Amino acid sequence: MKAFTVERYGHKDGLRASEVPEPHVGVGDILVRVSAASVNPLDYKIRDGEFKAILPYRVPFILGNDLSGVVVKVGDGVTRFAVGDEVYARPDKDRIGTYAEFIALNQDDVAIKPTTLSMEEAASLPLVALTAWQALVERGRVQPGQKVLIHAGSGGVGTIAIQLAKHLGATVATTTSTANIELVKSLGADIVVDYKNQAFETILQDYDLILDPLGGETLKKSLQVLKPGGKAIGIAGPPDTDFARELRVNPIIRLVMGVLSFGTRRRARRRNVTYSFLFMKASGHQLHELATLIDAGIIRPVVDRVFPFESTLEALEYAEDGRAKAGKVVIRMP
């Protein structure tokens, strides 16, 4: 089958079009013919080797972290899906590879595609929607009346997180560029900070939760706008010791992660707030819950541009260079 594989770490040229065997379908697995996949920052970070210490994929491997498609085969023990089902999924971190004609997935990581969406729209959602769900519902436990700040509101995670936080009853603030102010308002943002002309830390205060996909100085300043007991959840890092324990990495890597997040955790403690790093997990159950909200019109995807499969390298470059105006970049299979 045709696929895009990482042949060597560390450079854009390391990702190439290849011919590879179709995947093996094990017990509890389904084989999916991929209809569409989407581009996430995680993809080019994996390609460049930024996560080798915690995600040590052995080259060559197929890249890609979410998809929509059609079930073409079911393995022994599969009870949730049948041949012909239209599905969407974020594969488990150990089984990525959606930039391909076929992929084998564990049935627990898959859900029926929202019926109201096209394959391209559905493919834009799994990774970012699961990230928003796990940050706001699972870890943040957002309640009606709370105040939530979502950075980069026009990005892949931001566009979904705004809608989900609003559904949960929160007052939602977001940061975005001037060009996307009306978009994030249409998604439900109550307060919009134009980061090109305003400093969010001087405008916002007493927030219960902050979802930060940017890291660095943005995360540092975000701690200042939390109320005592508030939570900052970062998806760009730095990784923390809880994440290291979750991954069961060796003691050296665990120590490194502790050092990387030490400054942030110390600043958080001084302000009587908490910081945690989130690396989202695959979950078919959560995707099912999200599909219900999508089909009810509560959450809608935002797709910036669709590329054909043969232009996968161009799609990654387009996203990596920041040319997407809002939402996700999607790859359509032939």
| Domain containing residue 136: CATH number | 3.40.50.720
pLDDT tens per residue, range 117-149: 999 999 999 999 999 999 999 999 999 999 999
pLDDT tens per residue, range 181-196: 999 999 999 999 999 9
171-to-137, 183, 206, 222 alpha-carbon distances in Å: 15, 17, 12, 17
Closest CA to 34 of 78, 64, 75: 64
- Which amino acid type is present at position 193? V
Looking at the fold, whether 207 and 183 belong to one and the same domain comes out as yes
- Other beta carbons less than 10 A from residue 142's beta carbon: 23
Sign of the Cα pseudo-torsion (310, 103, 59, 126, in order): positive
Sequence-distant (≥ 6) Cβ neighbours of residue 96 within 8 angstroms? 46, 57, 61, 62, 63, 64, 65
Looking at the fold, whether 63 and 163 belong to one and the same domain comes out as no
Looking at the fold, whether 176 and 121 belong to one and the same domain comes out as no
C-beta of residue 86 within 8 angstroms of C-beta of residue 112: yes
Looking at the fold, whether 106 and 174 belong to one and the same domain comes out as no
Instruction: Mark the ranges of the chain whose per-residue pLDDT is less than 50.
Output: none
pTM more than 0.85: yes
Tell me how many domains the chain contains.
Answer: 2
Q: Counting Cβ atoms within 10 Å, is residue 241 exposed (0-12), middle (13-18) or buried (19+)? A: middle
Domain-located, residue 294: no
Looking at the fold, whether 108 and 142 belong to one and the same domain comes out as no
Looking at the fold, whether 315 and 262 belong to one and the same domain comes out as no
Mean residue pLDDT of the chain comes to 94
Q: Can you give the CATH number for the domain in which 19 is found?
A: 3.90.180.10
Looking at the fold, whether 137 and 272 belong to one and the same domain comes out as yes
Scan for tokens 């005592």, then name that residue: 228
Looking at the fold, whether 155 and 47 belong to one and the same domain comes out as no
Looking at the fold, whether 233 and 325 belong to one and the same domain comes out as no
Q: What is the DSSP string of 32-52?
A: EEEEEEEE-HHHHHHHTTTTT
Closest CA to 157 of 306, 42, 29: 42
For residue 20, what are the domain limits? 2-125+301-332
Domain-located, residue 12: yes
